Amino acid sequence: MSQAICRQCGAVWDECICSSWPLQLIVYSRHQVFCILHNYCNLPVSDDPQTELVQKSRNISAAFESVSCVIAEIEARLAMCGEAGEALVDEAPQVDTIEQLSRPARRALNYCSGWRRRKESYKKWCWETENTRKQKGIKQPLCS
């Protein structure tokens, strides 16, 4: 399966560092979520995000509506991370690369990334990820 290439910078979408993407091609990769948080740092982390109306397919809609849907989805994912999500929102505008984020913020970024929202809680995801890493013999734990 071939991967989509960014028309602006020529990189694979997962590694694209452009500040904007066509909305129909947002796949919530780590780099896309980080860049959205880095460039739009005024996203509040709400306890009860209104995402029931998030549009699953982006056929015909107003431009502001699609952007609102992307922001609402990111807010909902961040809210599931609790304090780690807040750390990500606080740190993303202040750093230039993902590697400069603190460990909790990187974990929250990993949890928030992906085409679909995770069904498991953030705590359970951390536990499962850490156990998988232990089984593979990776010594440094991902979650603490």
Domain boundaries, the chain: 13-135
The residue count of the chain comes to 144
Per-residue pLDDT of 36-74, as tens digits, reads: 888 775 544 444 444 444 444 445 555 555 777 888 899
- Spans of the chain, pLDDT less than 50: 1, 43-58, 141, 143-144
For residue 127, what are its two tokens?
């536990």
* Residue 61 three-state SS: coil
Axis crossing angle, helix 103-112 with helix 63-81, rounded to the nearest 10? 130
